[in-house]
Each structure stands twice: as C-alpha cells, then as structure tokens.
Amino acid sequence: MQEGGDFSTAMAVLASALGCGLLMGIERERRKGDGPFRALAGVRSFALASLSGAAAALIGSMALVAVVGVFIAALAVTAYARDDSGDPGVTTEIALLLAYLIGVLCARDQLVAAALAVAATGLLAARDSLHQFARDWLQPGEVRSGLILAALFLLVAPLVPDAPLWQGLFNPWVVMRLLLVLLVIQSLAHVGRRLLQARQAMALSALASGFVSSTATIASLGMEVREGAAVRPQAGAAVLSCVATMAQIVVVAAAVQPLWLARLWLPALAGALVAGAWGWWRVRGVPAGPEDGAVARPLLPPDTAMFKLRDAALIAALLTAVQVGVHLLTRWQGDAGMLAGALLAALADVHAAAAALLAQAGPSSPSAPAIGQALGAALLVHAGSKSAVALASGGWRYALAVAPGVLAHTLAFVGVLALQG
C-alpha cells in the first residue's frame, strides 16, 4: 500500500471501485444473454476488473498496474476471438478494460472515476437510441455541418490571433468568435425546426432566418404574400424574425465589447418580448399539423445543412468592414461621423451598425451617451427600412401588418435604453 495511506482511505477507494464496476457490470449483465452464446463479461467480471485496478493502484507499483492492464486486455482479446455469438462489436471488451482503468483512477480521484463510470454506463445503456439517432434521424448534411463546426472550433479558432491589428481597427479573434456564435445559433435553430410542429416550425424558421438577415426574411415572406400566401401568418413570422435582431445585438455586444452587456441585455429582452408576443399572436392562425397537433418533423431535404457558412462569413465580414468604416469616420468627424456612419450602415444591417458603435468605447467612457443615442437612432432607421422593404415586397396590406410590430419592438428597446440613462 502507498506510504501515508491508511485503512479507511484504502477501504474508500476499494468501495468506490466496487460501486463503479457493479454499475457498469449490471448494465452489461442485462445484455449478456444465456447459454453457450452469452457475451464475455457481466456484473462479476466488471466488479472484479475495477477492484483489480484499485488494488494495483493502492499497492503503488506502476509496473503492476501496467501488467494487470495488459492481462485484462489479453483476456478481452481472447474472449472476443472465441466469441460465437455472431456479434462483431467490441463494446463489452472495451468497457471491461475501461472498468479496470476506472478502478485505477479511484485511487487518485474518486469523483472523476465515478463520473466516468456513470458516463460510460449511460453510453452503454443508450445503445439502441444512439444507433437510431445515427442511422435514422441524423441526415448527411447535418453530419457534414457538424464536422465543419468541430474543425472550426478545434482547429481553426485556436490559430486565430487575439490581438488588435492596424492600429486597433479590428481584432481577428473577435470576428472569429462572432462567426462561431452565428453558426451555433443557426445549428440550434435547424434542430428545432426538425423537432417542432408546423406552426412552431414556421415561427422558428423565421427566427432562424432572422439571424442571417431579418430584412431578407421580411422580403422573402412578402414575396410569398404576393404569390397568394395569407397575410396574417406571414406578417407574424416577419415580426418574429426581429427577435433575432434583439438577440444579435446582445451577441454582437458579447463578441465586440462585453462590458456593454450590462446595459443592453434589458432593452434587448424588452424588444424581443414585444416582437415575440406580437409575432406569435399573428402566427397562431397556422395549422398545428396534419394530425390535431401531433408532433411532426418539418420535411427537409437529406442534404440540408445545419448552417450556411457562407452567409455567416459574409455577415462577419460586413460587421468588420462597417466597424472599420465607422472607426475611421469617428477619427475624422468625431461623434457626428460616428452617428452618420451608423445610420448609413443601419439602412442595410443594424447588427453591423451596432458592432461598429459598440467597438468604439465601453459603457463607462465619456462617449457612451453618444453611442447609446446613435444605437437607438440606428435601430429606428432600420425599422423604417424594414417597413419599406415590407411594402415593396408584399404590398400595403402586408406592410400595415408588419410595420406596427417592427416599430413597437424597436421603441421598446429604445425606450428601456433611454430610461437607463
């Protein structure tokens, strides 16, 4: 036994290892089967393997830990070679070796070992659900999107420098972080569209499209109205897309200047609640689904991606370009240049205007009141731009249904921001 170890500590380690082994073994015993074709190991084998790991670790010889580990692995390989059950999987064999390693880990950190045992048992027990998810539910386009997202997070993002460039005009890591946030939000919205009912799917589809461009979403829905779609639900979905505008202002603040979050989260929440309530009130007219509200997945092509990387990258590039432009105008004309640049940017995309404004300074700086006023003005200009797009794309009936909701949620944001001082 290790120096300094006492009897109670050793018993605690062995008890923890026994519990972990029994937990994994009980799950395997339920799938072991009977007769000559039963699987390799059950509750006793897993408990003994975990106890062996704990005992070897308590003795304190790494050579002994390695030898016993090789012995357990050899037993698993031999049992797999002699298996006549017709099951080509190696899950039980790998799990048995993992049980031994968990026993070794119990001598070092019982909490981590227990967590690992629970996670492993959960994976073993969820075999059928995981197989069904991978084979039947997951689509090829979603697999590719997941791989791209993982590569961006694990390979590309760590290589992006986190330092201001060109005299502080922009930071590459801020742009990368914003791109990743946009992709994750689009992915979650895609999953939601597949899970929810028709009415909910329409609402969530509009919301997800709003994260790409709420103005483009309003225009697209307006063109559907011209083709004969009902005005009420299309207008409701258009206003719901404005919830994304409020959410993205918070996202932009978090990515560009996190100190602004304390000032902007409440106005953004107020605006989102107004847009959400108004839009949902309008969307209620959409049928719930083919079978009296039964949950039905919206039919999407198998190659439908979870996100549009090109669109997200264009948004990130636009935000960066506008941020640089407003920064240069502010250097040239001061607050007047900042306001002019923000208003011009807001005609096309309010998120770009918000990013440019918030990047200028923090909420405690002397220019913070001017930034807040410019942000409110930019949102009002953008609300007018959306209303004009609604009129041009869907006609006056569509515009009259959309404009009040767009203006109401914008005034809610501006009003709460003004009350904060």
273 pLDDT band (50/70/90 cuts)? very high
Looking at residue 297, what is its pLDDT?
41
In three-state secondary structure terms, 165 is: strand
Rounded CA-CA distance 225/257 in Å is 39
Average pLDDT over residues 61-72: 87
Check: CB of residue 95 under 8 Å from CB of residue 124. Answer: yes
For residues 118 and 262, the model is more confident at 118
Looking at residue 140, what is its pLDDT?
74
335 pLDDT band (50/70/90 cuts)? low
Residues 25-39, buried b or exposed e (16+ Cβ, 10 A)? bebbbeebeeeeeeb
Q: Which of 21-30, 76-85, 232-241, 400-409 has the lowest mean pLDDT?
A: 76-85
Average pLDDT over residues 349-364: 72
Most confidently modeled range among 84-98, 172-186, 384-398: 384-398
Neighbours of 343 (CB within 10 A): 16
Check: CB of residue 286 under 8 Å from CB of residue 202. Answer: yes
Looking at residue 237, what is its pLDDT?
86
Residue 234: C-alpha distances to residues 81, 221, 397, 401 (Å):
62, 6, 11, 9
Average pLDDT over residues 218-236: 79
Rounded CA-CA distance 38/163 in Å is 60
Query: What size, in residues, is the chain?
Result: 421
Rounded CA-CA distance 379/384 in Å is 9
Looking at residue 290, what is its pLDDT?
42
Check: CB of residue 27 under 8 Å from CB of residue 121. Answer: yes
- Longest pairwise C-alpha distance within the chain: 86
Rounded CA-CA distance 161/402 in Å is 43
Looking at residue 289, what is its pLDDT?
46
pTM of the model: 0.51
Looking at residue 189, what is its pLDDT?
61
Q: Residue 44: in which H helix or E strand, if any?
A: helix 43-59
Q: Which residues contact 258 (CB under 8 A, 6 or more apart)?
A: none
340 pLDDT higher than 70: no
Q: Which of 93-97, 165-169, 286-290, 407-411 has the lowest mean pLDDT?
A: 286-290
